Structure 1
Amino acid sequence: MATLFLMVGLPGAGKTTRARQLATKHGALRLTPDEWMIPLFGEPEADGKRAVLEGRLLWVVLEALSLGTGVVLDFGCWSRDERSAIRWLAESAGASCHVVYLPVDLGTQLARISRREATTPQQTFPMNEADVSRWRTLFEEPDAVELAGDHVGGPPPGWLRWRQWAAARWPSFA
């Protein structure tokens, strides 16, 4: 059975570093949208194109899982609904899903972001402390159910299926 490793955390948490380690250890395909945005669109947050890119990457994830190939998906997945939808999609492809959550305190996060901007500015985008503080309020920390990999519940009110919710969240996924 193929496994999807779903990286969860804020910028500077160490997700991509851990994703590289997991991909090497498990011989898995690693998909990191940050590594695609600048080469494809010339900027890291190109006017709604990130959701389009993520949708296509999710399509690749499901193809790989259905072929028995493990995948490390480095999206960050700040919302519980995003994580639940992706977990459900992995299950529907006959794969297991392991949520890999990397918490980070504010000081460490800011230091890592600063270091990344100084050493590899072409691979990142500017972030200031106000942005980071705001993002920390938006992030929904995974609970024990998610981290244990227990069954995914139903989609949010107004949605009949997780696949429909995912197609609305990531339009190119459908």
Structure 2
Amino acid sequence: MTTLFLMVGLPGAGKTTRARQLATEYGALRLTPDDWMIPLFGEAEADGKRDVLEGRMLWLALEAVKLSTNVVLDYGCWSQAERSAIRWLVEAEGACFRMVYLPVDDATQRTRIAHRWATTPEGTLPMTEGDILHGRAHFEEPDAAELEGHGAAAPPAGWASWREWAADRWPSFA
């Protein structure tokens, strides 16, 4: 069955390394926003363009699963709502959704980020101490139910569907 693998975790957790392995193992299209942001815009968050890029990548991922192509979506997906929306969208296309959560402790995260910056600065998005602390404060760790495949059944209050919510979250998805 066609599968979309969603990489979940903080920077430095090993998501992209694992995403590359999964892409090779499953013959999957790997979509990693970080691989596009620097070449296109020279920075990680170029005036909201990351959300626009992620929306187009999500649209492309769904087109690929419709064509029976496995996909690895390497976003990080910090919120349960993002993960639930993607799960719902993938399953609505009749594809299998697999969340790949990579937890990382504070010391390991900092070591990996420093190593990346020291060895591949041209392909690394700079991260300040504030960025690391912001990520840790805002990351919603998946609970056991979510990891077992039980995401939120309904979209957040005020949204008629997960598709509508996703179009608001990622403006270019619609």
Question: Which residue in 1 is equivalent to 2:107?
Answer: 107
The within-5 A match list for 1:47-66 is: 47-66=47-66
The within-5 A match list for 1:12-23 is: 12-23=12-23
1:28-72 C-alpha deviation (Å, 9 max, x unpaired): 111000000111112221110000000000111001000111100
Question: Which residue in 2 is equivalent to 1:140?
Answer: 140
1:23 counterpart letter in structure 2: A
Give the secondary-structure state (helix, strand or coil) at the position aligned to 2:46.
coil
Cα offset for 1:114?
0.3
Q: Give the TM-score of the pair, scaled to structure 1.
A: 0.97
Question: Which residue in 2 is equivalent to 1:149?
Answer: 149
Give the secondary-structure state (helix, strand or coil) at the position aligned to 1:97.
strand
CA distance in 2: counterparts of 1:158 and 1:48, whole angstroms: 23
2:132 counterpart letter in structure 1: V
2:79 counterpart letter in structure 1: S
Q: Give the TM-score of the pair, scaled to structure 2.
A: 0.97
Question: Which residue in 2 is equivalent to 1:162?
Answer: 162
CA distance in 1: counterparts of 2:151 and 2:51, whole angstroms: 26
1:89 counterpart letter in structure 2: L
Provide structure 2 residue ranges, at least 5 long, that are not aligned to the other structure.
Answer: none
Number of aligned residue pairs: 174
The within-5 A match list for 1:13-52 is: 13-52=13-52
CA distance in 2: counterparts of 1:116 and 1:163, whole angstroms: 35
1:141 counterpart letter in structure 2: E
CA distance in 1: counterparts of 2:4 and 2:87, whole angstroms: 8
1:112-145 C-alpha deviation (Å, 9 max, x unpaired): 0000011111112221233212210100001122
The within-5 A match list for 1:71-86 is: 71-86=71-86
CA distance in 2: counterparts of 1:10 and 1:95, whole angstroms: 26
Contact residue 44 and residue 124 of structure 1 kept, 8 A: no
CA distance in 1: counterparts of 2:169 and 2:151, whole angstroms: 21
CA RMSD of aligned residues (A): 1.0
Relative to structure 1, is the Cα distance of residues 171 and 25 closer, same or farther in structure 2, using a 3 angstrom cutoff?
same
CA distance in 1: counterparts of 2:6 and 2:137, whole angstroms: 21
Cα offset for 1:152?
4.3
Give the secondary-structure state (helix, strand or coil) at the position aligned to 1:100.
strand
Contact residue 78 and residue 139 of structure 1 kept, 8 A: yes
CA distance in 2: counterparts of 1:150 and 1:173, whole angstroms: 24
CA distance in 2: counterparts of 1:143 and 1:16, whole angstroms: 22
Question: Which residue in 2 is equivalent to 1:124?
Answer: 124
2:122 counterpart letter in structure 1: Q
Relative to structure 1, is the Cα distance of residues 151 and 125 closer, same or farther in structure 2, using a 3 angstrom cutoff?
closer
1:7 counterpart letter in structure 2: M
Contact residue 5 and residue 97 of structure 1 kept, 8 A: yes
